[in-house]
Amino acid sequence: MTELDQEIKEQIPLTLNNEADVVLTPVKNIKAVFKEQLKENVLFLATIAGVVLGITLGFILRQFFTFNDNQIAYFGFFGQLFLRMLKFLILPLIATSLISGIAGLGSNSAGKIAARALTYYFSTTMTAVVMGIILVVIIQPGSGKSSDVNQSFKLPIDTSKYVTTHDTLLDLVRNLFPDNIIEMAFREYETTFQQEYKYHLLYSNGTNRTLRFLPSGLTNSSELTIIKEFDFYKAVGGSRRSLNVLGIIVFCFVFGGVVASMGKEGEILVKIFEALNNCSVKMIKLVMIISPLGIFSLIVATVIEMRDPSQVFARISMYMVTVILGLAIHAFVILPTLYVVVTRKNVFKFAKNMFDALFIAVATASSTAALPTTFECIEEKNKINRLISRFVLPVGATINMDGTALYEAVAVIFIAQLNDRKLEFIDLVVTSLTATLAAIGAASVPSAGLVTMLIVLGALNLPTHQISLIYTVDWFLDRLRTTVNVWGDSVGAGIIDHLSRKEIEAIEMEHRKHDENNELNQNQESAFDAKSNQV
């Protein structure tokens, strides 16, 4: 019996004289329940309507009109405002959720739960990568399509930028330990590379010299010829505009653990961050009121901006099939099986309760944009303890990128196949490890996978400019892999909540005892004050 059936049954008056004598008056009560359900889901239904209308209007407009880039940007204006407001609130939401969650768990319990979470994240991401590699090796979507290699399209990233795998991984570690608490809110460390040259000086008398630095004033003349030759790339420390989420997570984890260890002294800080967290959630709920309009705007702009869909899909249809098949297996087979095996609970009910968050992920292509709705679905519908969700979901939205890792592994091997490059077993191992680590470093924003894919391509010495062929369908696949990312975070929260039942029960028991002691102390103080006043 479903929850709706149970609710209807409770509201239907019954007169039972015997087993055959049953009088039901269901009409009025069914209408009441329907209205209540409609009221609770009005925002979700409006969002679905926004998506349908956006797709319809987008295809109608592109059929009869031609728009330039500026005009397309106008269609997406309200969508940009919606995403900007959500991104603005992500920092306070993540920071307050982590600090209040870890402080509530206590340093010992937080360490155990963190170990479970990281084990889950790494194992599922690696499983997704291996699944993608197996599928792309079997299906061979890039074989016989070398004629498509020279296709070029406008890209949002600089593919000529020099990157190295080891420096990128070192940047990941550096960002775990930011040197400025203010700067980590808007900048993160990034190693850049500048070209270094050497200069060959050829004199007319036959003397030759090679210098790394050319003296000022020295130029070509009848007696001297200067030849400039590229020497090497020099690594230079720098930064780029981006929220350093990894640094924020480490800081909040340590800060929350220290607050928990302070005992009574840190209680006021815990209450402050809990209040700030509740405030952030309420502000995000206000922003979500305009989500149907924002998503409608984003969908219209995306559909209008598409190149000829039939031509693009025909060119790389097998690549899309491979990615979609891998994502489907991971989302519908691997993750549900893991959830059922560990928790012994109904995964269909769990998935149904997560539908709102998954729909937002599809519409926005951003894990962070879906995070507020994910919190609501996890805590209110699936009844996951807030102490778990406050830690697991913000961290998962940052480093648990199953869909992105699978997508990158498939895309890189697809490009290798386009270039008739045969990958050895060690190349596949490098791909799996690099794709996993690159996915961890990917920002949870639209099309971040394209940026981190440069790292994986660089690890295998594959041409980076060929990302352009994949970019033509990235807008579509990005939505699917983001949905898998959010689904993976949600399943992880359910599994870790189940595995951490003993710790949670102990913590809640301790909190109840603490509240009872506080209440007793307050009553004693009140009684003492009353006696003092009488005297």
Q: pLDDT digits over 394-419, tens only?
A: 888 877 888 888 888 888 888 888 88
Q: Is residue 246 located within the same domain as residue 229?
A: no
| Position 103 pLDDT exceeds 70 | yes
**Ramachandran quadrant class, 140 (left: phi over 0; alpha: psi -120 to 50; beta: rest):** left
Which residues have C-beta within 8 Å of that of residue 119, sequence separation ≥ 6? Answer: none
Note whether 414 and 446 are within 8 A (CB): no
Question: For the chain, what percent of residues have pLDDT higher than 70?
Answer: 79
Number of H helices, E strands in the chain: 23, 5
pLDDT tens digits along 249-259: 889 888 988 88
Over residues 376-389, mean pLDDT: 90
What are phi and psi for residue 189, nearest 5 degrees?
Answer: -70, 140
Q: Is residue 167 located within the same domain as residue 201?
A: no
pLDDT band at 155 (very low <50, low <70, confident <90, very high): very low
The pLDDT value given to residue 514: 64
Q: Is residue 427 located within the same domain as residue 439?
A: yes
Which residues span the domain enclosing 191?
A: 187-239
Q: Quote the tokens at residue 422.
A: 């045969």
Q: For residue 322, give the nearest of 133, 126, 123, 456 by alpha carbon.
A: 133
Q: How wide is the angle at C-alpha 411 spanned by C-alphas 242 and 244, nearest 5°? A: 15
Q: For residue 79, give the nearest of 294, 290, 284 by alpha carbon.
A: 294
The pLDDT value given to residue 145: 56
pLDDT band at 322 (very low <50, low <70, confident <90, very high): very high
- 3-class DSSP assignment, residue 279: helix
Q: For residue 453, give the nearest of 489, 491, 496, 401 by alpha carbon.
A: 401
The pLDDT value given to residue 470: 76
Note the helical H segments in 106-164. 107-139
Which residues have C-beta within 8 Å of that of residue 148, sequence separation ≥ 6? Answer: 315, 316, 418, 469
Q: Quote the tokens at residue 252.
A: 């909040």
| Position 533 pLDDT exceeds 70 | no
| Position 507 pLDDT exceeds 70 | yes
The pLDDT value given to residue 338: 95
Is there a domain that residue 176 lies in? no
Among 42-56, 410-424, 519-533, the range scoring the smallest mean pLDDT is: 519-533
| CA 155 to each of CA 43, 104, 447: distance values in angstroms, whole numbers, following the listed order | 35, 45, 11
Among 55-64, 235-244, 367-376, the range scoring the smallest mean pLDDT is: 235-244
The pLDDT value given to residue 157: 45
Note whether 140 and 417 are within 8 A (CB): yes
Q: For residue 303, give the nearest of 36, 54, 1, 11 by alpha carbon.
A: 54
| Position 488 pLDDT exceeds 90 | yes
| Position 86 pLDDT exceeds 50 | yes
Q: Is residue 140 located within the same domain as residue 266?
A: yes
Q: Is residue 229 located within the same domain as residue 324?
A: no
Q: Residue 384 burial (CB < 10 Å; 0-12/13-18/19+)?
A: buried
Note whether 413 and 319 are within 8 A (CB): no
| Position 159 pLDDT exceeds 50 | no
Residue at 267: amino acid letter: E
Q: Which residue has the higher pLDDT, 133 or 462?
A: 133
Q: Is residue 206 located within the same domain as residue 336?
A: no
Q: Which residue has the higher pLDDT, 424 or 119?
A: 119
Distance (Å, whole) CA 240 – CA 251: 20
Q: For residue 196, give the nearest of 149, 164, 162, 148 by alpha carbon.
A: 162
Among 16-25, 129-138, 237-246, 503-512, the range scoring the smallest mean pLDDT is: 16-25
Is there a domain that residue 179 lies in? no
Number of domains in the chain: 2
Kindly report each contact of residues 356-361 with a partner whose C-beta sits within 8 Å and lies 24 or more positions away, as own/partner. 356/44, 357/486, 357/490, 358/483, 358/486, 358/487, 359/44, 359/47, 359/48, 360/47, 360/291, 360/295, 361/479, 361/482, 361/483, 361/485, 361/486
Note the helical H segments in 460-500. 467-471, 474-499
Q: For residue 168, give the nearest of 422, 455, 409 by alpha carbon.
A: 455
Distance (Å, whole) CA 181 – CA 426: 40
Distance (Å, whole) CA 322 – CA 326: 6
Q: Is residue 262 located within the same domain as residue 220?
A: no
Helix then strand then coil, in percent of the chain rounded to 5, is 70, 10, 20
Q: Is residue 208 located within the same domain as residue 143?
A: no
Q: Which residue has the higher pLDDT, 425 or 489?
A: 489
| Position 19 pLDDT exceeds 50 | no
What is the pLDDT of the chain when averaged over all its residues? 79
CA atoms within 13 A on the CB side of 535: 6
**Ramachandran quadrant class, 29 (left: phi over 0; alpha: psi -120 to 50; beta: rest):** alpha
| Position 495 pLDDT exceeds 60 | yes
Q: Is residue 362 located within the same domain as residue 465?
A: yes
Distance (Å, whole) CA 88 – CA 146: 44
Q: How wide is the angle at C-alpha 401 spanned by C-alphas 275 and 177, nearest 5°? A: 60
The pLDDT value given to residue 120: 94
Over residues 290-295, mean pLDDT: 87
Q: Is residue 280 located within the same domain as residue 200?
A: no
Is there a domain that residue 2 lies in? no
pLDDT band at 343 (very low <50, low <70, confident <90, very high): very high
Characterize 262-301 residue by residue with b for buried, 16 or more Cβ atoms within 10 angstroms of its Cβ, and e for exposed: eeeeeeebbeebbebbeebbebbeebbeebbbbbbbbbbb
The pLDDT value given to residue 348: 94
Q: Which residue has the higher pLDDT, 279 or 316?
A: 279
| Position 355 pLDDT exceeds 80 | yes
Q: For residue 56, give the nearest of 299, 293, 298 by alpha carbon.
A: 299
Q: Is residue 379 located within the same domain as residue 320?
A: yes
Note whether 446 and 334 are within 8 A (CB): no
The pLDDT value given to residue 382: 93
Note whether 54 and 248 are within 8 A (CB): no
Distance (Å, whole) CA 497 – CA 378: 11
Q: Is residue 54 located within the same domain as residue 142?
A: yes
Q: For residue 477, give the nearest of 410, 431, 397, 413 by alpha carbon.
A: 410
pLDDT band at 508 (very low <50, low <70, confident <90, very high): confident
Is there a domain that residue 529 lies in? no
Note whether 287 and 46 are within 8 A (CB): no
Is there a domain that residue 95 lies in? yes
Over residues 312-317, mean pLDDT: 69
pLDDT tens digits along 220-245: 777 778 888 888 788 888 887 777 87
pLDDT band at 342 (very low <50, low <70, confident <90, very high): very high
| Position 434 pLDDT exceeds 50 | yes
Q: Which residue has the higher pLDDT, 511 or 247?
A: 247
Is there a domain that residue 423 lies in? yes
pLDDT tens digits along 195-221: 888 888 887 777 777 877 777 777 777
Is there a domain that residue 363 lies in? yes
List the CATH number of the domain containing 77. Answer: 1.10.3860
Is there a domain that residue 525 lies in? no
